[in-house]
Amino acid sequence: MQINGETLLYGIIGNPVRHSLSPLMHNRAFQALGINSVYVPFPVTDVESAITGVRGLGIGGTSVTIPHKQSIMAFLDYIDPVAEKIGAVNTIVGVQSEGRTELHGMNTDWLGANRALELEISLAGKEVILLGAGGSARAIGFGLIEAGAGVTICSRTEQRGRDLAAVLACDWVSLHDVDSLSGDILVNATSVGMHPHENATLVAKESLCGYRVVMDIVYSPLTTRLLKEAAEAGCAIVSGLEMLLYQGVAQFELWTGRNAPVELMRDTLLNATANK
């Protein structure tokens, strides 16, 4: 595709952000569908100034990643009720209104997590142990409860974990007791196991055999120690790449109104991680 005066710009706001796989995924999808758009990384420290630029330049939309998913909400024109309830925005949609660009904040993280898990198991009525109490855990927990699952938050920091459990109206258990817990699904929503600390895990291998499905939001490495040991214990496993894919699919469809080329986007991500 040749960039010209009709090319619509999209991007990802975060810090750091140059490592993101989202530009590869979205640009490949734009190209495949013949959409005259391009997606680039925006390393951002000053959120307010960045949003002024997004609005002033008429940018079609952006992804939002760490550490701006919450702070960016104060500078948007509209927050979707689901994103408001989650308390975080990972997607901005530029909407033209009376000659200006309005910025609407959405959250597709929970959609990505649910769709990734539903590749292996239906969520209604299942019991989920959710490791972590940060922004990712918040979005994933919301999505699980919306799908009819029961959730137990398991975190290292008690106050943060109890606060999230109160918001989600679910139970909290200390991470120290994780190996005494059981359920249908285990989700790691922390960064433990991420490169370069691939040997780290929060759950003992012998404690994994009771779960039917284990998902890790970490996608570098693609198969974390947690997922490797879960597979050895007989669990179905879901990598963080699937959540990244499906939250991106939802973003693409919000921005373009077109059905995303899901398999092409997945192959793009898999190829990128294989080449790292």
- The yes-or-no answer on residue 85 being catalytic is no
Residue listed under structure tokens 């898999």: 270
b/e per residue 205-223 (b: at least 16 CB within 10 A): eebbeebebbbbbbbbbbb
**Rounded CA separation 95/73 (Å):** 16
Question: 131 by DSSP, 3-state: which?
Answer: strand
**Rounded CA separation 266/276 (Å):** 16
Name residues whose C-beta falls within 8 Å of residue 139's C-beta, 6 or more positions apart in sequence.
86, 88, 90, 107, 109, 110, 113
Alpha carbons within 13 A on the beta-carbon side of 257: 3
What single letter denotes the amino acid at residue 1? Answer: M
Catalytic-role residue among 69, 126, 205, 228: 69
Point out the residues that are catalytic: 69
